[in-house]
Amino acid sequence: MTTTVLAGRRERVRTLTAVTLLGFASGLPLALSASTLEAWCAVSGVSLKTIGVLKLVAFAYVFKFLWAPLVDRYSIFALSRRRGWMLAMQAAIVATLIVIAGLSPATSLLGIALLAMLLAAFSATQDIAVDAYRADQLLPRDRGLGAAFGVAGYRAAMIVSGGLALPLAAALGFRSVYLIMAALMGIGMIGVALAPERVDATSAADLRGTYARALRELLGRVHALRWLALIALYKLGNAFALSLSTTFLLRGAGYALDEVGWVNKVFGLAATLVGAFAAGLLLERWPLWRALLVFGILQGMGAAGFLAIALGWHGSAALIVAVGAENLTSGLGTGAFVALLMALCDRRFSATQYAVFSALDSAGRIFIGPLAGVVAADHGWVAYFVISLLCAVPGLLILLGLRPQFAGLDPDRSSAAAA
C-alpha cells in the first residue's frame, strides 16, 4: 500500500513538473508571432494599420480544431499519442525560428509574415497535444493545480519571449533574440521526456469518425451554444487590451524598448506567477463558477492601468502598476478558464474538443487585431482602452446565466459534500 501511494505521488510530481515545462513550451512561440514581432515591426517603421493586419498571421490558433483529430487518432515518432506530436512540433518551431532570424521586417516583411504563419501553425498543433495531455492526465482533484502550473509556465514563457526579448533586442538585435528563443524550446523537449502518459485507445477507427463523434458529443450537450459563447467571450476584453499594448507603450506613451521589456520581465512575471498560483489554490477551495466570476471581473478591469497612462499618468510607477495589474488579473482569469476547459472535455476526444474550445478563445485575440488597429489609429488610445473594458461585460453576463449548469463540473467537491 505504501509503495503504491509513493508511486502515485511520484507520478503526480512528474505530471505537474511536465505540465509546467510543457506550458512554457506552449507559451514561448506565441509572442514571437505576436507582440515581439509587433515590436520588431514598430521599430522598423512599419505602419500602425499594417501591424494590426499582421495579427492575422496567427489565424492557425483559431482554425486548429480542423486538424486536431489527427492528434486524437494517430501517434508519431513511435511515442505515445500526445508526446510524439509535442516533440515533432517543438522541432519544427525551432527550425522556423532559426529561419526567421535570418530576415528583417524592413526588407522582407512578406517573408517574415509567411514564416510567422507557419510558426503559428506549428505552435497551435503543439498546443493541441499539450492541452490534450493535460486534460487526459490530470485527475479532477489536480485540475486547479495543473491549470496553475501550466498557466505559470505559459505566462513565464510569454514574459521571456515578449518581455525579456525586448531588452535583449535593444542590446543584441531581434535576429539574435529569435535564435535564443529557438534554443529555449529545449525546455519543452525536457518536459516531453519527463511526462508520464496513460496510453488510451484511439477514439474511432478512422479520422472522419473521430471528428464527427467529438463534435456530436459536444453539440449534443445541454446549452451547448451558450457554453461555446462563454468560451469565446470570457477573455475578449483582455484580448482587446493586449492586442496593441506593446505598440501603445512604445509609441503612444513613449516608453523605451528596454524599459518596457524589463518591466514586463520583472513585474509582469512576478504578477503572473502570483496570479496563477493564487488561482490554483483558490480553485481547490472555491466552486469553479465563483472563481470564474471573481477572476473574470478582475481580469476585465486589468486594462484600467493602461487607460490611466493614456489619460496622462506617466513615469516608471505608472508602467509598473499597469503591467503588474494586467499580468496579475490575467493570471487569475486564465487559471480558472483553463480549469473550465479541462472540465468540459470528454477524454475520448480531448484533443479535438479542447482545440475547439481554445480556438474560440483565440478567435477574439486574432481577429480583433485589425479592428484594434483602426480604433487606435482613428479614435485614439483612450477610446481603445475604454472599449477593452466594455468588451469584458458580455462574457460575464453569459457566465451568470450558466450558473445552474456548473453543478456537475466540481465532482470532487460534490462527492466530499455528499460524504
Q: How many contiguous H segments (helices) and E segments (strands) does the chain have?
A: 24, 0
Mean pLDDT of the chain: 85
pLDDT tens string 233-242:
998 888 888 7
pLDDT in tens, 264-318: 767 877 887 888 889 888 888 888 999 999 999 999 898 899 999 999 898 889 9
Share of the chain above pLDDT 70, in %: 92
State pTM to two decimals.
0.74
pLDDT in tens, 152-193: 888 789 888 987 888 899 899 999 999 999 999 999 999 999
Contact status, residue 83 vs residue 195, Cβ threshold 8 Å? yes
**pLDDT band per the 50, 70, 90 thresholds, residue 78:** low
Q: Are 151 and 331 in contact (CB under 8 A)?
A: yes
Nearest to 355 by CA among 75, 82, 32: 82
pLDDT recorded at residue 246: 80
The predicted structure's pLDDT at residue 244: 81
Owner of C-alpha cell 478591469: 301
Nearest to 231 by CA among 337, 365, 386: 337
pLDDT in tens, 29-57: 998 998 889 889 888 888 877 887 787 88
The three cell numbers of residue 387 are: 472599449
Q: Where are the domains of the chain?
A: 14-412
> Any idea what DSSP says for residue 256?
-
Top-ranked range on mean pLDDT: pick from 26-30, 195-199, 327-331, 350-354: 26-30
Q: Among all chains, which residue has been given the C-alpha cell 497612462? A: 309
Under CATH, domain 14-412 is a member of which superfamily?
MFS general substrate transporter like domains (1.20.1250.20)
